[in-house]
Amino acid sequence: MPKSAILLCSLLIVIQLSPSAAYNVVSFGARGDGRTDSTAAFLRTWKAACSSVKPASVSVPRGKYLLKSIWFVGPCRSRIVFEMSGTIVAPDNYNVIGNSEFWILFYKVSRLTVVGGTVDAKGHAFWSCRQRNGRCPGGARSITFQWCSNVVMRGLTSLNSQTIHIAINHSNNIKIQNVKITAPSGSPNTDGIHIQSSRGVTVTGSTIRTGDDCISIGPGSMNLWIEKIGCGPGHGISIGSLGNSANEEGVQNVTVTNSVFTKTQNGVRVKAWARPYGSYARNLVFRNLIMRNVGNPIIIDQKYCPDNSCPHESSGLRVSQVLYKNIKGTSSTQAAMTFVCSSSRPCYGIKLQDIKLTYVNTLRRPAVAYCEHADGYTTGSVSPRSCL
């Protein structure tokens, strides 16, 4: 082997074996007793890791670490791996984080990997306040990625978020893998994962049991891949709500596949307000899905109105090029397929292929499909009979 090649190989080996910079939150003053405020210690750890010229790791060892609202701010100089073996808990007083929109925020961070661990926002007291219409704070999202890119989150467990468990806003190339999200079915507005104004987001291999949408997709989202999700209880996987404001960005290129829904209020849903604002939801694929006693397994609702103060206008949102393929199971509502589209901008390009949904009821009534202003076609066997 030429001497130059030997030198090059030796250099590569040295680079590969050069240690990354390791930063343990305990070394910076954090205490894993669940009572001591470790917010400042976590920030000191992050600052050191973020300033490292070498790839860095932030380690959270076993224990319970109490954090108030905290911002991990970039950009950082190198890649960071945030390794958690322990649990991060919120203060018992829900106002401490509830008066902030965010509990744990990653802001303008790229090349980040978050591995393992548990975050517990202790949301029960906050939900009770909301449910009795008390004087409550707005509530905090548990983990938010804002203006981030090239992020992987793997193996995290999120418990009892005050509002949204994981939020992804104005971010690109985000991968959420093998997360577990849990909150009671009656907990209000506890979406599992909310994606908005983001591109290139994948969510795979995750279990979501919560009180609102398992996954919700807001305006400005495109190129999303959602696969191998166990959803339920909850409100299903939703695109929307959309069309609630002027100049709203659209949603396109979304795939939901190889997932199971169990006793959810909805299955796969597109929801839009009956307001005249023009926008779109297009190139949507829902395939290889199993429904187990699910309300509204397939639904487009352009008269979305959750609080009964409805606008009573015609939706300006255009829903088009939607594929439903190989969706099977049982419906807890007689209308197993519902397409309530806009009278001024009807849905078009809806394709149903190989659908088999049956209605679970003691009277043995058949499942039905219901359509308003919806145009499309069917291939293969479709049951209940299509109304398109």
Total residues found in the chain within this entry: 388
Bridge partners of 367, per DSSP, are none
Which of the residues 124, 165, 235, 312 is marked catalytic? Answer: 235
Strand runs labelled E in 237-373: 237-242, 251-262, 268-273, 279-294, 298-304, 317-331, 335-340, 347-359, 368-372
Using left for φ > 0, alpha for ψ between -120 and 50, and beta otherwise, residue 136 falls in beta
- DSSP states of 262-277 as a string? ES-S-SEEEEEES---
For CA atoms 256, 342, 221, 183, give the dihedral sign. Answer: negative
Pairing mode of beta strands 56-60, 70-73 = unpaired
Identify the residue whose tokens are 């959309």.
242
Residue among 146, 143, 74 at smallest CA distance from 102 = 143
Q: Are 308 and 278 in contact (CB under 8 A)?
A: no
- DSSP states of 162-218 as a string? SS-SEEEES-EEEEEES-EEE--TT-TT--SEEEES-EEEEEEEEEEE-SS-SEEE-
Which residue intervals of the chain are DSSP H helices? 3-17, 39-51, 95-98, 124-131
165 is annotated as an active-site residue? no
d(CA 162, CA 159): 9
d(CA 33, CA 361): 51
What residues are labeled active site? 235
